[in-house]
A and B are shown apart, each in its own frame.
Chain A
Amino acid sequence: MTQHGGTSPKLALSESKGEERIGVYVCHCGTNIAGVVDVQEVAEWAAAQLEHRGVVIGREYKFMCSSLGQELIEKDIKELELTRVVVAACSPHLHEHTFRTACKNAGLNPYLCELVSIREQVSWVHTDKAAATAKAKAVVSGGVERVIRHAPLEPLRVPIHPDTLVVGGGIAGIQSALEIADAGYHVYLVEREPSIGGHMAQFDKTFPTLDCSACILTPKMVQVGTHPNVTLLTWSEVEKVDGFVGNFTVTVRKKARKVIEDLCTGCGICQEKCPKKVIDDVYEAGLGYRKAVYTPFPQAVPKYPVMDVENCTYFEKGTCKACEKFCPTNAIDFKQQDEILTLQVGNIVLATGYDLFDARRVTNYGYGRLPNVFTSLEFERLSNAAGPTNGNIVLRDGKTTPKAVGIVHCVGSRDRNFNNYCSVICCMQGLKFAHLVHERTGAIVYNFYIDMRTAYKAYDEFYQRVLEEGTLFVRGKVAEITDVPRRPDEDGHLIVQVEDTLAGKQRRIPVDMVILSTGLQPRYDAKETAKRFGLSCSSDGWFIEKHPKLDPISTMTEGIYIAGCVQGPKDIPSSVAQGAAAAARVLGKIQQKEISIEPVRASVNQDQCSGCRICNNLCPYNAISFDEDRGVSLVNAALCQGCGTCVAACPAGAISGTAFSNDQILSQIEGLLLLNIDEPVTA
């Protein structure tokens, strides 16, 4: 074993001085740990100084998580009859499972293994080698003391309810719902707008192939709307989520459409007859009108309209009822109330998407003040054949075709005043706009960019194509967009003031129209949604995935997955891929029928319980009940989530928490404090 640098076992099999026979394994993680921590010293120290605690072997190895590293542990468990294993390596959130499995393979109960972190908590955050090595020893010592108190445990098995909830009916949610439904399982698709489709339904063309967005999206919308395995709940919102993986209870508010879905045929006469026009801020991005009773767009799924109660003349003034009079099937019901639905699901996919960055915040670009400055979503509607101008690219006056158009990239993104992150889609979006303007108006098009980011299949080719079409590219961040002329040729134009960093010049470029390639930001209520589902948001507000590279679909909450822009800005192909991936995860869970979860649960020792009932009100899951006859409290293991608050509160010490018992933690504290890091002062 010398090739691994391990010390040979100091004790013959029967000589362990502690009650347990413990193996300590210290990982180099290449140089990640070994670069800062003297791993050999830690391993040797553990074998020598913790011998009286039962440590019979201390080894170090380059990569403990590799199959060779695992075999090393497995071999020792068998040959040295180890009863406990401590691995000092990375965070337990990464490799706890790996080492537990290794123990299991060697016939040791997996919960008799403790992984302590000397990478994330030591080598990566400290620079002083001596201090880091000392801390690593302390951490190992804590792990040894803790693992002595471990008890063999069996994972809990919970059944998985086969139904799934998908929240958000954009392309990611649609894809996810379809994949699961096609596999033969039931899906509830909840969408808060009147129709599914999301942002993609608002676009005209999609980059880089310039497919018509509606042409590729609407078949999927229809498929999901008519799928026998999909219950579509539009104009609905999730209010409450209870339970845990396999057994969520979800409360959904189905807002009153004021239209009886069973009777409505979707003929559209109510919309035609409704006398009230309302500016459509959502679907038409404020550029067009809808009626007070409406479907947002002709291909909407479902076809049933909703009534906008705030703007309906009947609800305002008490008269009108034009829709009711003309409805051929008497489907209008002004008295309809919100419905509260309770759904039982096993897994949840969140695909709640993004909001457009509010371009008004960049005051120097004049959006909202200068009429001919448009946001990207406004331009999408302008260029959409089904949009307010029938696809004519015109100025805000509704008739003038622009002769010169400026497209500003990175609006609200990559800017420390707003959002630091890159919104991913804006470069390609800006190029798409350039192509569309060029094709439809023949105008001169300027793209103002900081860096051109076209890193995806066929994206850079599209950039080359737009270059060849004659679009002019100016590399520099636009300083200001103004309508105040300095020269006669600027009269009546918008002037883009920009530093051309390639030519090293300041430029003032007169244009007729400016399109802001606006970035993406988290939904305005993303924080609330995260709370409702028990997830966390990054500091930017995007939902945090379980692992940024290796698990971008899962969240820290078992059974809840994320797909699409809710996880971070991404384009359509990535959203679709993530939606499908989330579905694959859900299907995997459903097909297991039941899954193992960590046996972290509280239980009451009834002989010790004095019946004081202090714990009764502490449990947020109402898992603790009081048995009047016997005068003791009881924990319902099916409801307990293992937070341990009752364990900490019990004055009699009658409640114990598996895997996090008082004994284990107190011993770990003692172990951690075995070494103090006072450095001798050399005189």
Chain B
Amino acid sequence: MTYKFEPTIIGFTCNWCSYRAADLAGTARIKYPPNVRLVRLMCSGRLDPTFVFKALASGADGVIITGCHPGECHYLEQNYKALRRFQLMRRTLVGLGLEPGRVKLIWASAAEGARFASEINIFVEEIRALGPLHWGVPDDEEPSTVHSPLSEMEVPA
């Protein structure tokens, strides 16, 4: 069976700004593609690069990291630390032979529901253009070990 490629994206949000922007996008019924699944963190500074690599290794085609605008961090300045880590992460991605565009950092304040939705739109298209990160497993083969044991329980949506 052939599958039409739909990117799967993990989004990391900050409890104080971008998660609220996502809430606001919802309240305002601003539509964006269903490809993104959000994880709430207390701050973009909480983002351990492991999370990103874990997401990419476990089946995500892209990761979007969102945080408060520079200077507006709820914890004073931790989004700058997220920014620094993001730069290092991109270098690591290149080192691993992945397209650096699979990981993106954007800023969205609690008031920017529309902006949040439009950034998701843009990123989904960017990842769609990059194509799948995970090669599909042919029907007659056992799933490879790349997938976590959880993916064995996968059912079609």
**B34 at the A/B interface (Cβ < 8 Å)?**
yes
Q: Which of A91, A125, A538, A679 touches B4 (beta carbons < 8 Å)?
A: A679
Residue of B nearest to A668 (CB): B39
Nearest Cβ on chain B to A448's Cβ, whole angstroms: 32
* A556 to B33 alpha-carbon distance, docked (Å): 28
Contact residues, A13-52 vs B (CB, 8 A): 45, 49, 52
Answer yes or no: B140 CB below 8 A from chain A CBs. no
A524 vs chain B, min Cβ distance (A): 17
Q: Are B153's CB and A674's CB within 8 A?
A: yes
Docked Cα-Cα span, A291 to B32, in Å, equals: 59
Give the residue among A45, A52, A135, A644 with the most B Cβ atoms within 10 A. Answer: A644
- A648 B55 Cβ-Cβ under 8 A: no
A137 to B153, CA, bound (A): 13
How many Cβ-Cβ contacts under 8 Å join chain A to chain B? 190
* B58:A670 contact, CB within 8 angstroms: yes
In the bound complex, how far is the Cα of B16 from the Cα of A531, in angstroms?
Answer: 13
On whether A645 and B34 interact (CB within 8 A), knowing A620-B75, A671-B150, A676-B8, the answer reads: no
Q: What residues of B have a CB within 8 angstroms of the CB of A642 in the complex? A: 42
Q: List residues of chain B with CB within 8 A of the CB of A93.
A: 19-20, 23
State whether the Cβ of A340 lies closer than 8 Å to any Cβ in chain B: no
Q: Verify A643–B157 contact, CB threshold 8 A.
A: no
Contacts of B50 in A (CB 8 A): 662, 666
A600: CB under 8 A from chain B?
Answer: yes
Q: A538-B111, A556-B110 are in contact. Are A125 and B1 (CB under 8 A)?
A: no
Contact string against B for A residues 603-624, beta-carbon threshold 8 Å, 1 for contact and 0 otherwise = 0000000000000001011000
Closest to A671 in B: B150
A683 within 8 A of B: yes
Residue with the highest number of chain B CB atoms closer than 10 Å, among A127, A557, A665: A665
Does B117 make an interface contact (CB < 8 A)? yes
B108 to chain A: closest CB distance in Å?
11
* Contact (A665, B41) CB under 8 Å given A124-B29, A677-B34: yes
A670 CA to B149 CA in the complex, in Å? 10
> Which residues of B (18-67) have their CB < 8 Å from a CB of A?
19-20, 22-23, 25-27, 29-35, 37-43, 45-51, 54-55, 58-60
A531: B residues at CB distance < 8 A: 71-72
A682 to chain B, nearest CB (A): 10
What separation, in Å, do the CA atoms of A657 and B46 have in the docked complex? Answer: 9
Cβ A674 vs Cβ B26 within 8 A: no
A133–B55 Cα gap in the complex (Å)?
21
B4-A644 in contact (CB<8A): no
**Contact for B31 among A125, A645, A669, A680, CB less than 8 A:** A125
Cβ contacts under 8 Å, B1 to chain A: 680
A119 interfacial by beta-carbon distance below 8 Å = yes
* B2 in contact with A681 (CB, 8 Å): yes
Whole-angstrom distance between the alpha carbons of A676 and B46 in the complex? 26
Of chain B, the residue at the smallest CB distance from A642 is B42
Residue pair A679, B6 in contact (C-beta under 8 Å):
yes
- CB-CB < 8 A to A263: which residues of B? none
Q: A11 in the interface, Cβ–Cβ < 8 Å?
A: no
A568 to chain B: closest CB distance in Å? 12
- B34, A672: Cβ atoms closer than 8 Å: no
Q: How far is the CB of A192 from chain B (nearest CB, A)?
A: 22
**Partner of A643 from B31, B78, B85 at Cβ < 8 Å:** B78
For residue A35, give the distance in angstroms from its CB to the closest CB of chain B: 12
Q: For the complex, what is the distance from the CA of A133 to the CA of B111, rounded to whole Å?
A: 27
List residues of chain A with CB within 8 A of the CB of B32: 125-126
Asked if B76 is at the interface (CB within 8 A of a chain A CB), the reply is yes
Q: How far is the CB of A250 from chain B (nearest CB, A)?
A: 16
Enumerate chain A residues within 8 angstroms of B55, measured Cβ to Cβ.
669, 673
Complex alpha-carbon distance, A681 and B1, angstroms: 8
Report the separation of the CA atoms of residues A103 and B75 in the bound assembly, to the nearest whole angstrom: 30
| Contact A645–B39 (Cβ < 8 Å) | no
Q: Do B26 and A91 have beta carbons less than 8 Å apart?
A: yes
Q: Which of B37, B81, B154 contacts A135 (CB 8 A)?
A: B37
B135: CB under 8 A from chain A?
Answer: no
Question: Is there contact, CB below 8 Å, between A674 and B150?
Answer: yes
Cβ of B11 to closest chain A Cβ, rounded Å: 9
Q: 5 interchain pairs (CB within 8 A)?
A: A117-B38, A124-B25, A537-B111, A672-B39, A683-B2
**11 extra A-B contacts, CB within 8 A, seeds A644-B43, A665-B51, A679-B157:** A124-B25, A124-B29, A126-B34, A130-B157, A139-B37, A142-B39, A645-B43, A657-B46, A662-B48, A673-B10, A674-B150
